Amino acid sequence: MRVRGEGYECAGDRSVTIDRVVVGIVSTRVGEHAPIGSYCEEGAVLAAEEINAGGGMPTPEGPAPPLLLVHADDEGTSEGAGRAIASLVAHPGLFLVLGPDLSALTYPTAHLTRQAGVLQFTSALSSRITQLGNPWLFRVRPHNGYRAAAAARFIAEEGFRRLAIVYLNNELGQDGRANAERALARAGVAPVFARPIAGAHEDMGPPVGAVRAAQADAVLYWGTQPAGAALLRALRAGGWTGKFLSNTMDDIFLAMAGEAAEGGVGFDCFAYSDPDEGIQEFRRRFRARWGKEPDAHAVSNYDALMLLRAAVAAIGPSRDAVRAHLAGGARFVGVASTYRFDAQGDLRGWATVYEIQRRRAIFRAKLTDPVEG
């Protein structure tokens, strides 16, 4: 996927002789996580279109070049993500890699942008990703720990006594489980059990049986949408009537879970029903462009490119200078929230809580003070 722009050159010091700013976007176009990839692309394209319609990427001196998006498909695998990032960093004059979104793809490939000295913005959630020593990598969504803190607070306030944790057995789910257990311990909640599932195509009979045998009044699921929706459908089909909680119950999840999702509660970084004026204005523009509601993947990539625009406007078109600017705590007011990175490239985070009513995510609260899990 490309947004029009003209030629671009890169100098040896990673500054640019600028007539376009090239951003490579890594997203998933095939397999069960392709819907996530679509939202990632749509948020980025909307931002690029608005930037270019507004005259391009402003710089402290000289003309404002256009933004060019170059797409690479990660194919939903870590091997595919490695190939995609390698193809992008070989692109003449690449300024930034945007993506991948999935933790299972970002964690094993984060070294590639470090080796290339290229900026990378990722919306992946595993808290371990920014602990890998890549100074070029910045996370544009709050990591699992913030959602875990919000979940633990909700669970303690609601007074669930027999909580079960079921998690996807990959980087996202394993990290989410660890953060959730730490946050729950601080809240004085001890889960009755925690067990992994392999994916959406697993026989859900054993985890459903375990939930019922434990007489769990709530299940906290951590993972991606396909496996979570399959688990929830199986729980409801098996007669379980407790409360289902998840790190994501977005429209992708709802399309897969159907009526089984009614009454569920999600812990995320964005909800399109948030009454915030900036979110509602973004929602209007996104719906006008794409004919559907935005989600956290879309707003994260939109904000990421607008953040890049602001950094280039303040510092100039140098990867080194932009990296130092962001790592130094520069503040950017985006759609989802205010963005400010620490020295590791992590956001000072927040969490959004919403409840599913009539197959829509209804905003309940935005927590700006969750403690990391």
How does pLDDT run across 346-355, given as a tens digit for each residue?
A: 998 999 999 9
111's enclosing H/E stretch is helix 111-116
Q: Judging by DSSP bridges, how do beta strands 265-268 and 243-246 pair with one another?
A: parallel
pLDDT digits (tens, 9 = 90+) for 77-134: 999 999 999 999 998 889 999 999 999 999 999 999 999 999 999 999 999 999 999 9
Position 4 in a domain: no
Looking at residue 230, its pLDDT comes to 98
What percentage of the chain carries pLDDT values higher than 70? Answer: 94
CATH of the domain at 295: 3.40.50.2300
Question: CA dihedral defined by 13, 300, 149, 180, rounded to 10 degrees?
Answer: -80
360 and 225 co-located in one domain? yes
The stretch 287-298 carries a mean pLDDT of: 98
Provide the 8-state DSSP code for 97. Answer: E
| CA–CA separation, 86 and 26 (whole Å) | 11
138 and 245 co-located in one domain? no
For 152, the 3-state DSSP assignment is helix
| CA–CA separation, 282 and 43 (whole Å) | 10
pLDDT digits (tens, 9 = 90+) for 350-373: 999 999 999 999 999 999 877 665
Which among 147, 131, 156 is positioned nearest to 180, based on CA atoms? Answer: 147
Provide the 8-state DSSP code for 24. Answer: E
Q: Judging by DSSP bridges, how do beta strands 193-197 and 218-222 pair with one another?
A: unpaired
322 and 361 co-located in one domain? no
| CA–CA separation, 229 and 124 (whole Å) | 20
| CA–CA separation, 116 and 337 (whole Å) | 30
Position 2 in a domain: no
Looking at residue 372, its pLDDT comes to 65
Position 3 in a domain: no
Position 160 in a domain: yes
235 and 361 co-located in one domain? yes
260 and 305 co-located in one domain? no
228 and 327 co-located in one domain? no
Position 167 in a domain: yes
114 and 173 co-located in one domain? no
Position 196 in a domain: yes
13 pLDDT tier (thresholds 50, 70, 90): very low
Asked if residue 337 lies in contact with residue 232, where contact means CB atoms within 8 angstroms, the answer is: no
Residue 6 pLDDT > 50:
no
55 and 190 co-located in one domain? no
Which among 139, 146, 127 is positioned nearest to 371, based on CA atoms? Answer: 146
Looking at residue 371, its pLDDT comes to 66
pTM of the shown model: 0.93
| CA–CA separation, 354 and 364 (whole Å) | 5
- What total of structural domains would you count in the chain? 2
pLDDT digits (tens, 9 = 90+) for 202-212: 999 999 999 99
Q: Cβ neighbours of residue 79 under 8 Å, at least 6 residues apart?
A: none
250 and 359 co-located in one domain? yes
253 and 281 co-located in one domain? no
Q: Judging by DSSP bridges, how do beta strands 193-197 and 265-268 pair with one another?
A: unpaired
28 and 118 co-located in one domain? yes
Residue type (1 letter), 270: F
246 and 169 co-located in one domain? yes
> Tokens 């939202």 sit at which residue?
39
- 189: containing domain: 145-268+352-367
